[in-house]
């Protein structure tokens, strides 16, 4: 095989990795940061290694959400309000909010809302001992897409 073909393939792979890094770095640099209460659900997977499957307090939609909005796969926008240092669910709407209102874009999955930030990978061996007082620091883009940045336990970054 020609060496120029291999060089092109290598360059495309490198550009893909750099692009992926730049995408996530852009979210962290330009998004707004929020702190959410969360709980660990499933700490280990034999194929994926140690990770924590997180369930957020804001994952449970309020009873006021209409039955039409509860269909599996529907996109919803969760408006947030501050309660001390953490953010909680204020309202759920099928249309994006206008103005400078903090919100997350989620998808209905049965009786909960998924935000795409439910998995957090930890160093090997750290997923077995998960504290019960977890808080998640997330970064949110202008369109409501969230990225999990860091977990905290007792006010300190976890895992150490």
Tens-digit pLDDT profile for residues 42-72: 655 566 667 788 888 898 877 765 554 567 7
Residues spanned by the domain of 102? 31-158
Overall domain count for the chain: 2
Q: CA 20, 160, 34, 40 torsion: positive or negative?
A: positive
Give the pLDDT of residue 8: 93
Looking at the fold, whether 17 and 38 belong to one and the same domain comes out as: no
Looking at the fold, whether 43 and 92 belong to one and the same domain comes out as: yes
Looking at the fold, whether 118 and 76 belong to one and the same domain comes out as: yes
Looking at the fold, whether 14 and 64 belong to one and the same domain comes out as: no
Give the pLDDT of residue 32: 82
Residues 6+ apart with CB under 8 A from 74: 94, 107, 108
Looking at the fold, whether 52 and 130 belong to one and the same domain comes out as: yes
Distance (Å, rounded) from C-alpha 139 to C-alpha 68? 29
Give the pLDDT of residue 142: 86
Residues of the chain with pLDDT under 50: 68
Looking at the fold, whether 116 and 61 belong to one and the same domain comes out as: yes
pTM, rounded to two decimals: 0.75
Distance (Å, rounded) from C-alpha 121 to C-alpha 48? 9
């Amino acid at each position: 095989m020609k060496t120029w073909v291999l060089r092109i393939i290598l360059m495309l792979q490198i550009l893909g990795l750099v692009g992926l890094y730049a995408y996530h770095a852009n979210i962290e640099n330009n998004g707004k940061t929020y702190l959410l209460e969360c709980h660990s659900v499933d700490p280990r997977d034999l194929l994926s290694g140690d990770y924590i499957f997180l369930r957020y307090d804001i994952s449970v939609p309020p009873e006021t959400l209409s039955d039409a909005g509860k269909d599996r796969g529907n996109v919803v926008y969760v408006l947030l309000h501050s309660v001390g240092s953490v953010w909680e669910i204020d309202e759920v709407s099928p249309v994006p909010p206008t103005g400078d209102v903090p919100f997350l874009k989620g998808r209905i999955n049965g009786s909960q809302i998924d935000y795409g930030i439910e998995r957090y990978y930890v160093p090997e061996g750290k997923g077995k001992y998960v504290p019960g007082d977890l808080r998640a620091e997330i970064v949110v883009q202008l369109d409501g897409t969230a990225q999990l940045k860091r977990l905290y336990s007792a006010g300190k970054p976890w895992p150490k």
